[in-house]
């Protein structure tokens, strides 16, 4: 990953070149020259990274470039460290500078000399690169070999017997239905999933089926892969179409003639063509002209790992089929078929076999490969556990798992350079652990992995990177937040093992477990996966460490944080989530380079004054700690972008969020993007509008008298995406009717507190996707107003209406609503749903509506409703449902999942 290391170095160089206060004699010119050298090497590095595996000389060269770039980054960061350490104002600062001036001059001279040395080194490396002529691809066959091998693996799907295919019955039935339905126009079906998920097997199963063979006149299967040549691909189609003829047509030499030949061969025929393993949407633009639509029911199947290719606009009637992981029962059956030749798993191996199977996470190729690996092993628990404990080695080195390695590595090889560091960084979290998307992006940003792009904030760039990894099926997503963006994500277990392998090989990141703690660590990032902190004694030089994370900590004796931090002077990320610490040492202030400080779920009760010296800090995460108030020194953290201080509890009580007291100096933090969430005071409410760049604002403890100043402040925040306002208590009014305009980009709005009226501007929120009215106690039905919100996807109403409201009528609108949550309407007698309203509703929850006596009339019109949940409802309603009342049950029969809570027990309705 040399190119990624060079890119991080370039970002560090830009900090020096374009930031004020760094115009030191001798340093800026040297830095500029180094940047030019690096830029001239980068295009070559991109090829080197792609072809180096299996080519020792090229791999060695790329490693030398990477190591040199890391050394240069250390030189620059050390220079900045010494620079900041002597920056003090006032008379005392003057005296200190006078005392340390000779040392500062020495440090500057040393930096210049070390930069010159680095420049000579990269020039020498560049000279050595001439020995490796990448223009001659024949000299470097390994990459093409791996592509051909992957293609061969895919084509073996043709020879898999139907009896050996497990877990794709539903998908196979759906695919066959789309292929042989009566639709006359040509349609495209995309099968998408991560490498090894069974896309090709599914396509081959349909392609070879008797029903399909009877339905089409001609068939073509083309393996595309990453490095296709369009002319060669078109010739493959011609060969397939001409194979039944006595003589193949003469092959044309240019694209136009090839397309014309294929169109002529398809003339009057109903065809089925499979484009297997597509990596770029450009392919469709190139091949579409050769696939005529004769309105005779021709079909195209595309298999791909890329979500954006699957969702490409192929035309009316096109479909997307996602290859889902196998269910546990299906995975177990497939594994036993391979490992035990269809026999049951021996009782003594069931526990370790289950753990091995969990590593596959439902991935069919991995299950088959692992089953094949274990089949010849001695059927003893000890032998199987040896494989489990060394699975990282087996995946990356054992020839028996070459198929898995090759398929998964292909997804990584073609990652753009700016995504490679982001991918490897994901393995710093424990395997199988889901990670918040926002947290991951903030850590990437702190490490310098996010490249500035015109018109986009670093956070926006991070979201683009994250989506790209998800669309490539490298990152898995467990669930989305209310704005339908990724919320929790993780690497597939086997992809984690590969990321871990690459990270260790590249000295990028080391995962430390107890037995590794005494081993010398060369990586620049350390992630401790230990339960006993007391066993960790960092005895080696860690001055150049950039990330230190600790997870799964259970040691109640705590960790010697003071001694640890003294070794980490260039640290950028310190993640101590849930660590057994109750205080922070003063040495924290020496970490001038720190960009990310994560203390969530710790027992810390206050921040030290020395935190004011963390001038580069971008993220401060102290959510769910014991801290009650932020120190006034927080206002000196001028680069702070994310201030996360939220504490929460049960959403069903008024105080479900609690703010933290903060000084008014917070308004000096002009880079602040997120405030989550602060306890307001009158002065802060008046001045918070100075933070015009805020994207997320959460304020609690608001009083009715704050209304005018609050509205004036909000009107200044044109970039606000997320707004949460909480009144002082449940009897306090939120006075927000004075807003003359709301931010156009506002997407999420939460109002917790009494409202005298429905705000006049509420129905004009054109981009709000999530609305939460909490303890509003409105005296009028808000549904008619809310139905006008054009893109609303989630609506939560908790104690939103007074006892005067007896009925909620969903008469029209809510065209994009997917999630409806209604709770604490004690006097609500009826919910009425008219046909045509809420056409996309998927989930409905009714809670603590004690006077609701029947299932909402019209619920049968909600054709997409997947889940209905009734909690703490009237005994009459529950009794009607369980008495098998035909009228009520007829309304519910099409809902796949129903959950009813009856007194203290939860009963699940049957799945239809």
Q: For the segment 624-642, what is each residue's pLDDT rounded down to a tens digit?
A: 999 999 999 999 999 999 9
908 has pLDDT over 50? no
Percentage of the chain beyond pLDDT 70 is: 74
| Angle 125-128-130 from CA coordinates, rounded to 5° | 125
Give helix then strand counts, H and E, for the chain: 28, 31
Sign of the dihedral through C-alpha 679, 682, 686, 687 = negative
Confidence of residue 890 (pLDDT cuts 50, 70, 90): low
Contact 441, 464 (CB under 8 A): no
Residue 493's CB is within 10 A of a number of other CB atoms, namely: 18
Residues 6 or more apart in contact with residue 447 via CB below 8 angstroms: 8, 421, 425, 546, 547, 572, 573, 595
CATH class of the domain defined by 144-322? alpha beta
Q: Where are the beta strands (DSSP E) in 83-202?
A: 187-192
The C-alpha atoms of residue 199 and residue 323 are separated, in whole angstroms, by 6
Beta-strand relationship, 486-491 and 475-480: antiparallel
Percentage of the chain beyond pLDDT 90 is: 36
Residue 627's CB is within 10 A of a number of other CB atoms, namely: 19
pLDDT computed for residue 568 by the predictor: 81
pLDDT computed for residue 399 by the predictor: 72
Minimum mean pLDDT range among 7-11, 166-170, 317-321, 656-660:
7-11
* β-pair partners for 476: 490
The C-alpha atoms of residue 109 and residue 735 are separated, in whole angstroms, by 61
pLDDT computed for residue 144 by the predictor: 45
- CA-nearest of 579, 528, 522, 565 to 549 is 528
pLDDT higher for 280 or 543?
A: 280
Confidence of residue 841 (pLDDT cuts 50, 70, 90): very high
Sign of the dihedral through C-alpha 454, 460, 466, 469 = negative
206 has pLDDT over 50? yes
The token pair at 347 is 């009782």
Minimum mean pLDDT range among 70-79, 276-285, 462-471, 793-802:
70-79
Residue 250's CB is within 10 A of a number of other CB atoms, namely: 9
pLDDT higher for 318 or 182?
A: 318
pLDDT computed for residue 103 by the predictor: 55
The C-alpha atoms of residue 575 and residue 92 are separated, in whole angstroms, by 34
This prediction's pTM: 0.82
Contact 755, 734 (CB under 8 A): yes
Instruction: Tell me what the mean pLDDT of segment 473-501 comes to.
Output: 78
CA atoms within 13 A of residue 275's CA, in its CB half-sphere: 29
- Helices 493-505 and 350-360 cross at an angle (nearest 10°) of 70
- CA-nearest of 819, 823, 903 to 868 is 819
All structural domains of the chain with their residue ranges? 2-140, 144-322, 328-406, 415-505
pLDDT computed for residue 168 by the predictor: 80
Minimum mean pLDDT range among 48-57, 77-86, 230-239, 637-646:
48-57
pLDDT computed for residue 585 by the predictor: 87
Confidence of residue 143 (pLDDT cuts 50, 70, 90): very low
- Phi, psi dihedral angles at 70 (to 5 degrees): -65, -40
Architecture of domain 415-505: Orthogonal Bundle (1.10)
The C-alpha atoms of residue 659 and residue 525 are separated, in whole angstroms, by 33
Confidence of residue 194 (pLDDT cuts 50, 70, 90): confident
901 has pLDDT over 60? no
pLDDT computed for residue 82 by the predictor: 63
Confidence of residue 542 (pLDDT cuts 50, 70, 90): confident
The token pair at 821 is 């949550």
Mean pLDDT over the full length of the chain: 81
Contact 306, 279 (CB under 8 A): yes
Confidence of residue 580 (pLDDT cuts 50, 70, 90): confident
- 144-322 and 415-505 have identical folds: no
pLDDT digits (tens, 9 = 90+) for 780-826: 999 999 999 999 999 999 999 999 899 999 999 999 999 999 999 98
pLDDT computed for residue 441 by the predictor: 96
- CA-nearest of 49, 571, 33 to 13 is 33
Which 8-state DSSP code applies to residue 51?
H
pLDDT computed for residue 158 by the predictor: 46
């Amino acid at each position: 990953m040399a190119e990624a290391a060079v890119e991080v170095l370039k970002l560090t160089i830009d900090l020096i070149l374009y930031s004020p206060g760094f115009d030191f004699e001798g340093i800026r010119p040297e830095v500029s020259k180094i940047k030019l050298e690096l830029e001239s090497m980068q295009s070559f590095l991109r090829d080197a990274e792609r072809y180096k595996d299996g080519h020792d000389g090229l791999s060695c060269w790329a490693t030398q470039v990477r190591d040199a770039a890391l050394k240069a980054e250390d030189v620059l960061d050390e220079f900045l460290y010494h620079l900041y350490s002597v920056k003090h104002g006032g008379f005392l600062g003057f005296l200190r500078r006078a005392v340390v001036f000779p040392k500062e001059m020495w440090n500057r001279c040393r930096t210049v000399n070390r930069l010159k040395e680095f420049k000579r080194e990269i020039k020498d490396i560049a000279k050595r690169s001439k020995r490796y002529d990448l223009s001659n691809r024949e000299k470097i066959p390994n990459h093409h070999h791996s592509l051909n091998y992957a293609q061969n693996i895919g084509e073996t799907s043709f020879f898999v017997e139907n009896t050996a295919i497990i877990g794709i019955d539903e998908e196979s039935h759906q695919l066959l239905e789309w292929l042989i339905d009566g639709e006359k126009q040509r349609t495209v079906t995309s099968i998408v999933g991560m490498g090894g998920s069974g896309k090709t097997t599914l396509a081959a199963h349909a392609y070879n089926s008797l029903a399909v063979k009877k339905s089409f006149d001609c068939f073509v299967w083309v393996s595309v892969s990453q490095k296709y040549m369009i002319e060669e691909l078109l010739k493959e189609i011609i060969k397939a179409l001409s194979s039944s003829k006595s003589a193949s047509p003469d092959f044309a030499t240019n694209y136009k003639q090839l397309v014309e030949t294929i169109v002529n061969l398809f003339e009057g025929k109903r065809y089925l063509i499979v484009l297997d393993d597509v990596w770029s949407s450009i392919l469709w633009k190139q091949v579409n002209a050769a696939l005529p639509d004769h309105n005779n029911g021709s079909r195209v199947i595309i298999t791909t790992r890329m979500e954006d290719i699957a969702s490409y606009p192929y035309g009316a009637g096109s479909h997307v089929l996602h290859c889902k992981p196998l269910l546990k029962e299906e995975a177990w059956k497939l594994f036993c078929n391979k490992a035990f030749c269809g026999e049951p798993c021996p009782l003594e191996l069931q526990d370790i076999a289950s753990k091995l199977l969990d590593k596959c996470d439902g991935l069919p190729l991995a299950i088959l490969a692992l089953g094949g690996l274990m089949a010849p092993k001695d059927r003893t628990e000890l032998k199987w556990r040896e494989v489990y404990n060394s699975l990282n080695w087996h995946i990356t080195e054992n020839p028996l798992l070459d198929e898995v390695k090759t398929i998964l590595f292909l997804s990584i090889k073609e990652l753009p350079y700016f995504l490679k560091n982001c991918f490897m960084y994901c393995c710093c979290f424990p395997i199988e652990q889901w990670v918040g998307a926002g947290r991951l992006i903030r850590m990437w940003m702190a490490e310098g992995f996010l490249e500035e792009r015109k018109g986009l904030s670093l956070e926006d760039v991070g979201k683009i990177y994250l989506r790209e990894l998800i669309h490539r099926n490298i990152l898995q997503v467990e669930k989305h937040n209310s704005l339908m963006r990724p919320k929790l994500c993780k690497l597939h277990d086997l992809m984690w093992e590969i990321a871990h392998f690459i990270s260790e090989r590249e000295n990028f990141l080391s995962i430390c477990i107890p037995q590794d703690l005494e081993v010398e660590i060369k990586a620049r990032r350390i992630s401790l996966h230990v339960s006993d902190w007391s066993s960790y004694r960092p005895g080696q030089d860690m001055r150049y460490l950039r990330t230190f994370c600790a997870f799964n900590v259970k040691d109640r004796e705590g960790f010697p944080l003071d001694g640890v931090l003294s070794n980490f002077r260039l640290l950028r990320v310190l993640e101590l989530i849930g660590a057994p610490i109750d205080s922070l040492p003063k040495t924290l202030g020496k970490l001038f380079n720190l960009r990310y400080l994560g203390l969530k779920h710790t027992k810390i009760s206050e921040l030290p004054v020395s935190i004011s010296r963390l001038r580069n800090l971008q993220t401060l995460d102290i959510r769910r700690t014991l801290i009650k108030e932020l120190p006034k020194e927080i206002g000196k953290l001028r680069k702070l972008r994310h201030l996360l201080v939220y504490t929460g509890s049960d959403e069903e009580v008024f105080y479900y969020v609690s703010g933290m007291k903060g000084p008014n100096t917070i308004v000096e933090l002009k880079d602040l993007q997120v405030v989550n969430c602060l306890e307001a005071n009158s002065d802060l409410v008046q001045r918070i509008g100075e933070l015009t760049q805020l994207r997320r604002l959460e304020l609690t403890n608001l009083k009715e008298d704050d209304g005018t100043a609050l509205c004036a402040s909000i009107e200044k925040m044109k970039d606000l995406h997320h707004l949460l306002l909480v009144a002082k208590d449940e009897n306090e009014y939120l006075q927000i009717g004075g807003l003359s305009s709301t931010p156009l980009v506002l997407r999420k709005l939460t109002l917790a507190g009494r409202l005298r009226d429905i705000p006049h501007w509420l129905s004009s929120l054109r981009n709000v996707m999530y609305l939460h009215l909490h303890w509003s106690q409105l005296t009028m039905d808000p549904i008619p107003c809310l139905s006008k919100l054009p893109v609303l996807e989630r609506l939560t109403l908790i104690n939103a209406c007074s006892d005067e409201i007896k009925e909620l009528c969903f008469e029209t609108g809510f065209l994009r609503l997917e999630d409806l949550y209604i709770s604490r309407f004690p006097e609500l007698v009826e919910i009425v749903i008219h046909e045509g309203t809420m056409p996309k509703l998927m989930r409905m929850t009714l809670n603590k509506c004690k006077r609701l006596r029947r299932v909402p009339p019209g619920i049968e019109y909600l054709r997409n409703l997947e889940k209905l949940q009734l909690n703490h409802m009237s005994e009459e309603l529950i009794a009607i449902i369980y008495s098998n009342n035909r009228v009520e049950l007829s309304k519910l029969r099409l809902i796949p999942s129903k959950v009813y809570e009856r007194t203290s027990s939860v009963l699940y309705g049957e799945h239809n």
